[in-house]
A and B are shown apart, each in its own frame.
Chain A
């Protein structure tokens, strides 16, 4: 069964600290994995995409990793800011036009 699981479900960190979000998947055949940020009451916005051949990719303070062998990805946020408070969603695209969504990690950054 194609599934995407994210952990933790929620996370509270102090402003300026780092954190890492996890995504495990069983989707096959795999095309790519994308991390989205969803602010409260808004639609998700793409942060970064990982393809099969990529191990690490950075977008500012966001760094995503992918281990295609173990089917795991992580999103590391460095020097967190209050504006990082949001839900982070992992989405795996199978070959073709099928998308599989994780349930998201709710991140709260407190001053």
Chain B
């Protein structure tokens, strides 16, 4: 079945450590997105990519980095510069057109600080 796979489901980070969250899709979607979800807040865009080897900062990109070397993969690295990384991270993908097609979401990675 086509879909988006995020791993791991739970992740713990030590102080000063970088961690990488995996996101893989087999939907043949051009666009991929990373969102952060905190309690009581809407999803906030971290980074997005519309094509391989290109990506754009979202609203809260500081302390995060991404790569898009393959169409299927869009990993997110949470760096030590991100001082409040505890959150639920969601990866999504979509076609660029038509506009009535939905974003498809993975089941998220919950990141906590040790």
A interface residues, Cβ below 8 angstroms from B: 4, 9, 31-32, 34, 41-46, 49, 51, 89, 91, 93, 95, 97, 99, 101-104
Contact = CB atoms under 8 A, between A and B. Distances in A.
Contacts of A95: 99
Nearest to A93: B99
B99 A32 contact: yes
Contacts of A42: 107-108
Contact of B100 (A32, A41, A99, A102): A32
B50 interface: yes
B100 A43 contact: no
Given A43-B105, A45-B105, A97 B96 contact: yes
Interface stretch (B13-21, B39-47, B65-73, B78-86): B39-47
B63 interface: no
Contacts of A31: 99-100
A43 B99 contact: no
A89 B40 CA distance: 12
B100 A51 contact: yes
Contact of B102 (A49, A101, A102): A49
A102 B42 CA distance: 5
Contacts of A91: 103
Residue from B42, B94, B99, B107 with most neighbouring chain A CB atoms (10 Å): B42
B31 interface: yes
Nearest to A98: B45
The 9 closest A-B pairs by CB, nearest first: A43-B105, A101-B42, A46-B102, A101-B43, A103-B42, A31-B99, A43-B107, A44-B105, A42-B107
Contacts of B92: 43
Nearest to B96: A97
A26 to B, nearest CB: 14
Nearest to A46: B102
A41 B102 contact: no
Residue from B31, B43, B44, B48 with most neighbouring chain A CB atoms (10 Å): B43
Contacts of B94: 97
